[in-house]
C-alpha cells in the first residue's frame, strides 16, 4: 500500500539522521564537557553521580552557547518525551531525562531513539498521520504528521547546533590543566 506522506516524512528523518551521525562520529566525552564560552547551558554531575542539566528561564542570546553535553541532553530529552507521549504511557517528564554521562552513552541513547522512532513511524498509515490521536507532546490538536515533521526539524536543528559547537571547540584553545 502506498503511503506517500509517511514515506516523505521518513525520507526527511533519514536525511536529518545522516547529519546527526556525522556530528556524533568521533565525539568524545571531553568534547561534550568542554564549554564553548564562559557562560551557557551545561550539564553537571551531582553528588548522586547523576548528570543534571540547567533549564533556561528564557531563550535570549545572553544565555551564551550551550555545551555539547547540554545539546545532546536536549536531543535525548525531546525525543524521549515525544516518543513516550506518542507511543507510550505519556508519563515521562523533563526531570526524569538525564544526560547519559559519556559520548558513547550519548551515541547509544540517540541511536536507540532513532531506531525506536523510525520503527514506530513505519507502522503508521497516512490516515494515522492525519489523525490527532497520538498528538500529546509538544503540541496538541495537530495532525500527528505535524509532530513527525517537527521531530525531523528538531533533529536537523540539533545536529546543526552540535556540529557548530564541535567546529568552535576544534579550533578553540584548550584550558590549561
Q: What is the pLDDT of residues 33-51, one digit of tens each?
A: 999 999 999 999 999 999 9
Residue 51 inside a domain? The answer is yes
Residue 150 inside a domain? The answer is yes
Number of domains in the chain: 1
Per-residue confidence (pLDDT) for residue 2, from 0 to 100 = 82
pTM, two decimal places: 0.95
Residue 153 inside a domain? The answer is yes
User: Which CATH number goes with the domain that contains 129?
Assistant: 1.20.120.450
Per-residue confidence (pLDDT) for residue 75, from 0 to 100 = 98
Confidence band of 8 (pLDDT split at 50, 70, 90): very high
Task: Residue 94: give the domain boundaries.
Answer: 4-55+63-171
Burial of 13 from C-beta contacts in 10 A (0-12 / 13-18 / 19+): buried
Query: Is the pLDDT assigned to residue 174 strictly greater than 90?
Result: no
Amino acid at each position: 500500500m502506498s503511503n506517500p506522506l509517511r514515506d516523505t516524512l521518513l525520507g526527511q528523518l533519514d536525511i536529518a539522521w545522516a547529519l546527526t551521525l556525522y556530528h556524533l562520529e568521533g565525539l568524545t566525552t571531553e568534547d561534550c564537557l568542554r564549554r564553548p564560552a564562559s557562560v551557557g547551558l551545561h550539564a553537571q554531575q551531582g553528588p548522586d553521580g547523576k548528570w543534571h542539566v540547567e533549564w533556561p528561564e528564557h531563550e535570549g542570546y545572553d544565555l551564551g552557547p550551550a555545551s555539547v553535553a547540554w545539546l545532546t541532553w536536549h536531543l535525548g530529552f525531546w525525543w524521549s518525551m515525544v516518543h513516550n507521549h506518542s507511543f507510550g504511557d505519556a508519563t515521562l517528564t523533563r526531570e526524569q531525562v538525564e544526560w547519559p554521562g559519556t559520548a558513547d552513552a550519548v551515541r547509544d541513547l540517540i541511536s536507540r531513539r532513532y531506531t525506536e522512532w523510525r520503527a514506530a513511524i513505519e507502522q503508521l498509515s497516512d490516515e494515522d498521520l492525519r489523525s490527532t490521536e497520538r498528538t500529546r507532546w509538544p503540541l496538541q490538536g495537530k495532525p500527528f504528521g505535524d509532530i513527525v515533521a517537527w521531530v525531523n526539524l528538531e533533529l536537523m536543528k540539533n545536529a546543526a547546533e552540535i556540529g557548530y559547537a564541535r567546529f568552535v571547540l576544534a579550533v578553540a584553545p584548550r584550558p590549561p590543566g
